Each structure stands twice: as structure tokens, then as C-alpha cells.
Amino acid sequence: MCNCTYPCSRKGLCCECIAHHHKKGELPACYFPEDAEKTYNRSIEYYIEISKN
């Protein structure tokens, strides 16, 4: 199930979502816990930062 709270046309379409974020050098929402996902920060740097905790 897609946990993304951002309104977009790729919601629930995993392959399209992953391809979209990959092109932007980001990770999709499903990599992030709920509180971090709501920031809409999909950067790899942010993922590494929150994963350290």
C-alpha cells in the first residue's frame, strides 16, 4: 500500500513512482516512516540522516 500523502498521478503506481524519483535523485515515500514522509523531503541525504537515529 502506498503511504505517500502527496497528491500526484503516480500514487499507488510503484514502477512509475520509483522511476520518477530515481530521475530526480530521490527515494519514494515508501522508504520513509510516516512522520518523515509528511515533510515531502525525498532526498537520499534526508533518508540517511533519519536512518542514523
pLDDT single digits (tens) 2-52:
999 999 999 999 999 999 999 999 999 999 999 999 999 999 999 999 999
Please report the pLDDT score of residue 9 as a whole number.
95
pLDDT of residue 1: 82
Q: How far apart are CA 2 and CA 29, in angstroms?
A: 8
CA atoms within 13 A of residue 49's CA, in its CB half-sphere: 7
Backbone dihedral angles phi then psi of residue 29, each to the nearest 5 degrees: -55, -35
Instruction: Look at residue 53 and tell me whether its pLDDT is greater than 80.
Output: no
Confidence at residue 39, expressed as pLDDT on a 0 to 100 scale: 96
Which one, of 2, 5, 10, 14, lies nearest residue 36 by Cα? 5
The set of residues, in sequence order, having a beta carbon less than 8 Å from that of 15 and lying 6+ positions away, is none
